[in-house]
């Protein structure tokens, strides 16, 4: 491998990782934008999503060491698995909002945020009890196709991650910018009281934000499994914290910011591990979090936070 090949490979590694962070970061941003709430249960919605995906693939008979699927069977299984995983994770997000957060909606202070930490640990321990502590092999229906670009290798799973996250992020952007519900969401983010007076049903907007954010986290969890061929009950916290950093980096509450932030964090992690050492990846990423908070608290693209005066 020449140095150029290595750089290209690290870009491939970093953007694939970053695409997953971006999907997860969007959930933080959507909820923060509307409620000014940092939703820590989001970490483990992502983790639950990867297990839902695993269950779906097993239902479709995708086993470790089974023959890879091709053509329409592959696309069908993937689309169905993504759809069910996203729906299930989205509903989980809605349930969390309804059961644990809505009763606290008007409580001032950090009560709601602390509740999300509690919910996060409940999910974490439920999965631990349910599936056990060991890492689970995540069967892949993907054929092991790869393309050589010089000395770098681009695998089908990376292409899949890029395509799926571009589609999802494109869909989200369209939804937020061009639908009535999206308009209502933006209005609520700007000024919930004014939005309510204009006839926006704020409760529905909040539910929608949780549903969309959690569905994207579920998709991220499924991608995680397909990418690493592994999942475990611990994946939520490390991945989630980095995605949260991505959201802050891009400007929390800012949808395009979260996407760019995710990819940036992925690239920083890949090149940090390459230039310095893997053990330093967290030091680098979280130093960036601190630096951003100190010098550019609104993030690279500015915060689109509620206008609460």
Partner 1 sequence: MMTRRSKLMAASAFAVVAGLAFAHPASAADTVVKIGIDSSLTGGDANEAQLVTNGALMAIEEANAAHLIKGVKLEGYVLDDGTATAGQYDPAQAAVNARKFVSDKAVLGEVGPEMSGAAKAMIPIASWANLAMITESATNPAMTDPAQAAQYRPNGKPVFFRTVATDAYQGPNLANYFADTLHVKTMYILDDSGAYGEGIADAFQAQAIKKGIKILGRDKLDPKAADYTSVFTKIKEANPEGLFYGGVLQAGVKVVKEAYDILPHTIKKAGGDGLVGAEMFTGAGYPAAEGWYATQASPHITEDTSAKDFMAKYKAKFNKAADDYTITAYDGTVVLINAIKQVKDSGKPLTREAVRDAVAAAKVKTLQGTVAFDENGDIQDKVISIFQAHEDKSDTSCKLEDDGCQFKYIGVAPQS
Q: Which residues bind partner 1 (CB under 8 A)?
A: 1, 3, 5-6, 9-10, 13-14, 16-17, 64-65, 124-125, 128, 132-137, 153, 155, 224, 228-230, 232-235, 237-239, 269-271, 273-274, 277-279, 281-282
Q: What does the block give as tokens for 188?
A: 């609520």
Residue labelled with tokens 């308009």 = 183
Q: Minimal distance in Å, beta carbon 7 to partner 1?
A: 10
Q: Compare residues 22 and 208 and give the one whose CB is closer to partner 1.
A: 22
- Helix, strand, coil percent values for the chain (each to nearest 5): 75, 5, 20
Q: Minimal distance in Å, beta carbon 48 to partner 1?
A: 15
Q: Compare residues 236 and 299 and give the one whose CB is closer to partner 1.
A: 236
Name 245's Cβ contacts closer than 8 Å, sequence gap at least 6.
Answer: 261, 265, 285, 286, 288, 289
Q: Compare residues 114 and 194 and give the one whose CB is closer to partner 1.
A: 114
Q: Minimal distance in Å, beta carbon 175 to partner 1?
A: 29
Cα 204 from Cα 102, distance rounded (Å): 12
Q: Minimal distance in Å, beta carbon 271 to partner 1?
A: 7
Q: Compare residues 67 and 279 and give the one whose CB is closer to partner 1.
A: 279
Burial bucket for residue 291 (CB in 10 Å: 0-12, 13-18, 19+): exposed
Cα 32 from Cα 155, distance rounded (Å): 35
Q: Minimal distance in Å, beta carbon 57 to partner 1?
A: 15
Would you say 21 and 42 are in contact if contact means Cβ atoms under 8 Å apart? no
Cα 53 from Cα 120, distance rounded (Å): 19
Q: Minimal distance in Å, beta carbon 26 to partner 1?
A: 19
Q: Compare residues 173 and 229 and give the one whose CB is closer to partner 1.
A: 229
Cα 206 from Cα 211, distance rounded (Å): 9
Cα angle at 206 between 205 and 209, to 5 degrees? Answer: 90
Cα 16 from Cα 13, distance rounded (Å): 5
Q: Compare residues 64 and 302 and give the one whose CB is closer to partner 1.
A: 64
Residue 1 CB: number of other CB atoms within 10 A? Answer: 12
Q: Compare residues 33 and 225 and give the one whose CB is closer to partner 1.
A: 225
Q: Minimal distance in Å, beta carbon 246 to partner 1?
A: 14
């Amino acid at each position: 491998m020449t140095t150029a090949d290595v750089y290209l490979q690290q870009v491939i590694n970093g953007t694939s990782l970053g695409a997953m962070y971006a999907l997860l970061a969007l959930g933080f941003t959507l909820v923060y934008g509307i409620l000014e709430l940092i939703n820590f249960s989001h970490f483990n919605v992502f983790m639950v999503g990867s297990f839902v995906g695993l269950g779906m693939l097993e239902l479709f008979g995708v086993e470790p060491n089974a023959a890879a699927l091709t053509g329409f069977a592959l696309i069908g299984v993937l689309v169905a698995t993504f759809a069910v995983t996203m729906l299930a994770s989205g509903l989980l997000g809605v349930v969390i909002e309804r059961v644990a957060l809505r009763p606290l909606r008007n409580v001032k202070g950090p009560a709601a945020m602390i509740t999300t930490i509690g919910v996060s640990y409940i999910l974490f321990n439920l999965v631990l009890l349910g599936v056990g502590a060991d890492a689970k092999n995540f069967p892949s229906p993907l054929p092991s196709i790869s393309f050589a670009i010089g000395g770098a290798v681009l695998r089908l799973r990376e292409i899949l991650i890029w395509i799926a996250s571009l589609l999802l992020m494109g869909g989200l952007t369209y939804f937020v910018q061009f639908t009535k519900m999206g308009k209502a969401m933006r209005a609520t983010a700007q000024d919930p009281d004014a939005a309510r007076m204009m006839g926006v049903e704020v409760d529905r907007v909040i539910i929608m934000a949780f549903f969309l954010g959690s569905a994207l986290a579920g998709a991220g969890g499924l991608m995680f499994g397909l990418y690493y061929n592994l999942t475990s009950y611990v994946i939520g916290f490390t991945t989630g914290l980095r995605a949260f950093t991505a959201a802050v980096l891009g400007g929390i509450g800012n949808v395009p910011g979260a996407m760019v932030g995710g990819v940036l964090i992925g690239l920083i992690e890949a090149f940090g591990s390459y230039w310095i050492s893997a053990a330093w990846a967290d030091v680098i990423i979280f130093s960036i979090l601190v630096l951003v908070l100190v010098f550019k608290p609104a993030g690279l693209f500015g915060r689109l936070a509620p206008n609460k005066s």
